[in-house]
Each structure stands twice: as structure tokens, then as C-alpha cells.
Amino acid sequence: MTAIQDVSPAALCDLLVSEGIRRFFLVWDPDAERVIASHPIVEPLARLFEGDRRDFDRHEGVFVQVAPDSGVLQGVFLHRTCRGQGAGGVRFWRYNTVEELLRDGLRLARGMTHKNALAGLWWGGGKGVMARATGGAEDPAARRRIYEEYGELLTSLQGCYVTAEDVGTSVEDMAAVFSRTRFTTCIPPALGGSGNPSTPTARGVVRGMEAALAHLGRGSLAGKTVAVQGLGHVGEPLIGFLREKGVARVVGSDIDPSRGDDLRRKLPAAPGWELEVRTVERGDNSVLAEPADIVAPCATGAILGPRTIPTIQAPIVCGAANNQLEDPERDDQLLKESGILYLPDFLVNRMGIVNCADEQYGYVAVDPRVEAHLGDEWENSVYNLSLAVLDEARRTGATPARVALDLAERRSFDLHPVWGHRGAVIIRSLVENGWARG
């Protein structure tokens, strides 16, 4: 029989439903030092986590449901909630196997712990993952129902996780989530939210690039060449900002031809400005190998590894995509040995979640809080923190990612000044009160 982690998300849904199971959890028990599974049938997943050293990091809890109407497999991943509720976007993505989905959720949630802590937010690390193949998403009404059901899942989790937009999810989808739960951000402005956070994210990435150039003594962005993978919500405004900064040439790639057409229309060639966009096949990472000053991965994760790193000609890699390294330890080292300065995503792509977090406290058009993150004054701004991390890396010989990670880990254990380790308290109560039987 195929192991449960090796089946497709759709097959897992069928299996669970045939057993009369609608929800399951995998929760870390810090006293017993093991993962507790809600049902015997998912015990192998608990053992998978316990035996894993790469993606599982004593995550506080994973909560999964087969959505009652749409049948979509929907998950919430909580890594560490000392600083506050787990916060991070919900991804709607295709996964071949259950293990692939679980690993993505675990890695992304952990990344959010680090990102939120480095940004100085009082949030923990959390992430939502939904498996696309387990339900139709093309019909608008069906799609709306999928996100409503995700909202219902969050309501059942009583606030230990607050969601946001992520790959595959739109602001309209967030409105559907919001119609069923208050534990969401990134809702449309018409409903009192701040909308899509990608433009601030792009601005933050630009500040990271500027810090990297300054650190290497390479001056400003003016006249530089930047290669951008992914021309979506972040990639597109990023290229606009790069142009404003005087970048001379951008080479971009996307698997969707319409993205390039849009960009060419919006940013036509002009004296001192050249834009080359290519439509590529999924899995074609050749844009990373462009002769450039900076390579900016802004599509999917796990694209930096032994196959791509040796092809990179740029001295700097700095982009928005989450979890860019195929294997965090190995590939971080490989980048260093290749003489490439790599700014980890969680150091420079914070502005999306900052925008989301801050919208809960109201916002203004030119928000001084947001501007502080993007400016030169505040010591914890993207620019200054990136510079500090790069300096520390140079001083100690560690990689920037290692320095940033150590700092993020230390900060992630700081307890929320008002609520303490509230997420853990909520998770315990969910387990004790039979959440998985609901």
C-alpha cells in the first residue's frame, strides 16, 4: 500500500472522507517531545515530521480540513507563536503529493516566523496552504466557496492563525475569507483593508538591493542591470521602481505571456532604459544566468540549488520569492563559495506582511510606519537591517542568511508584551476540546 504521505492531496481527501474524517491535526507536545496526531490514520505523518531535520522544526501545530462543500484540502501551519498569533498568507497551489504540501507549509510557516521577527512585528509564524487539484477554482462561485470555507476553518481555529494573501490568492478571495472570519488581513479597501501588499513588498526588495550594492561598494542602482524571474504582483511593480531608480536594463521572465505584454506596454523602451521580457516554460530558470548586477527571484521558491547557482553571473541575489534555496544549508554555502552575496527572502520581503499587520491598526495614505521600514533612519528598516546583517556576516565569516536566521531565531522567542504565548494556549485548547471531531 502507498504510504499516506506519498498519495496525492485528492487521494488523501478521498481516504479521509471514506473514514468519516473531515479534520485532522498534528501538534507538537513540548513535554513529551513528540508530534501528537489526532487520528491513527495520520500517525505516519506525525512520524514523518519527527524524523525530519530539514523542514520540521517543532512546529506548534498543523491543522487540516477537507472543506465540506468544495472538497479542497485546506491547511494551517503554525511554526512559533511566542511573539503573537501566527501570521502569513494562504497559498493555493498544485501539489503532487501530501508530503510536498506538508513540506511547503512547514517551510513557509517557519519563514514567516523569521520574517515577522526580523520586521519587529508582534506576530508569530504561520502559513495557509490549499491544494489546487482537489477542487475546481475556475468557476467564480465555486472559487468563492473555497475561500469562504477557508475562512470557516480559521474561525474554528479561534485566532491562533491570521491569514493574508499569497501566491494563487487574490484580494477578492480575501473578501470571501473575511465574510467568514475576522482572522484575516489583506482585505479589499472597500471593506476597510489595505488591499494587495505587493507594491510595498517590491519597495522593500529594492531597499535590500540598495543595501547589497552599498555593502559591496558598487554604488547605487543607477545604470545597473537586473534580472527578474516572475513578473507578477511583486515583479511588475519592482521593475517600475527599478526604472525610477535609474536602472539601465531589466531582463525579466515569466511563464505567462500576458505578463510580459503588459509590462512592455507600461514601461516602453526609452533613452537609458531597456526592458527585455521572455516567456519561458515552467522550470526554465535561465534568466538567473543573465549577465547582471543583481538577480531577483520573484516567482516560486526552491530555485537556487546546485543546478542553478553555478550558472549565476551576478554578484548579488536579492528577490521577493519565499524560500529560494532548494536546501537552506547547502545552497547558502554554495552561494557563498561561488562569491555571490545572497540576501535571504525573509530579510528583504517583509513589507507585504508589514502592510497586512499594520492594517489592523488603521492606516494612512503615506503611512509613517510603512515609510519607517522603507527609510534610512530607523535602525530596523529593511535597508539598515540588511546593512547590519551584511556587515556582521563579513566580520564573522558567516553567510548573511545564517546571521539573519540567528537574529530572527533569537527574536522569535520574545514573548508578546501583552498576550504572551497565546497561540500555544489556543492550540492546547483546540486539542483538548476535540477540534478534530468538529
Q: Which residues contact 364 (CB under 8 A, 6 or more apart)?
A: none
User: For residues 29 and 284, which CB has a smaller minimum distance to ligand NAI in the complex?
Assistant: 284
Nearer to ligand NAI, 38 or 355 (CB): 355
Record the cell numbers describing residue 150, joined without a space.
Answer: 477557508
Q: Following DSSP, what letter does each residue of 400-418 receive, concatenated? A: HHHHHHHHHHHHHTSPBTT
Closest-CA residue to 131 (of 64, 211, 55): 64
SS3 92: strand
- DSSP string for residues in 208-237: HHHHHHHHTT---STT-EEEEE--STTHHH
Is residue 197 near ligand NAI by the rule CB under 6 A?
A: yes
Among 42, 98, 280, 317, binds ligand NAI (CB under 6 A): 280
Q: Give the C-alpha separation, 44 to 107, whole Å.
A: 19
Q: Shortest distance, CB of residue 145 to ligand NAI, whole angstroms?
A: 22
* Interface segment toward ligand NAI; rule CB under 6 A; list 29-37, 62-70, 251-259, 387-395: 251-259
d(CA 363, CA 357): 10
CB of 301 to ligand NAI, least distance (A): 6
Exposed e or buried b per residue across 265-277, where buried means at least 16 C-beta atoms within 10 angstroms of its C-beta? eebeeeeeeebeb
Binding mask 350-369 for ligand NAI (x = CB under 6 A): --x-----------------
Beta strand pairing status for 90-93 and 86-87?
A: unpaired
Tell me if 48 sits within 8 A of 5, measured CB to CB: yes
198 in contact with ligand NAI (CB under 6 A): yes
User: Does residue 88 belong to the site contacting ligand NAI (CB under 6 A)?
Assistant: no
Select 341 or 353, whichever has its Cβ closest to ligand NAI.
353
Nearest to ligand NAI of 38, 386 (CB atom)? 386
Integer Cα distance of 301 and 320 in angstroms? 10
The one-letter amino acid code at 17 reads V
Q: Which of 115, 127, 224, 336 is catalytic?
A: 127
Active site residue 127: yes
Select the span of 1-9, 294-302, 307-315, 335-343 touching ligand NAI (CB under 6 A): 294-302
Binding status of residue 292 toward ligand NAI by CB under 6 A: no
Q: Does 201 engage in binding with ligand NAI (CB under 6 A)?
A: yes
Which of 235, 260, 344, 423 is close enough to bind ligand NAI by CB under 6 A?
Answer: 235
C-alpha cell at 423: 497561540
Dist. CA 403–CA 390, nearest whole Å: 8
Interface with ligand NAI, residue 195, by CB under 6 A: no
Name which position in 26, 167, 374, 387 contacts ligand NAI (CB under 6 A). Answer: 167
- 325 contacts ligand NAI (rule: CB under 6 A): no
Contact 412, 117 (CB under 8 A): yes
Is residue 5 within the footprint of ligand NAI (CB under 6 A)? no
259 touches ligand NAI by CB under 6 A: yes
CB of 224 to ligand NAI, least distance (A): 21
Q: Which residues are catalytic?
A: 127
Q: Which residues bind ligand NAI (CB under 6 A)?
A: 166-167, 197-198, 201, 229-235, 253-256, 259, 280, 282, 298-301, 320-322, 349, 352
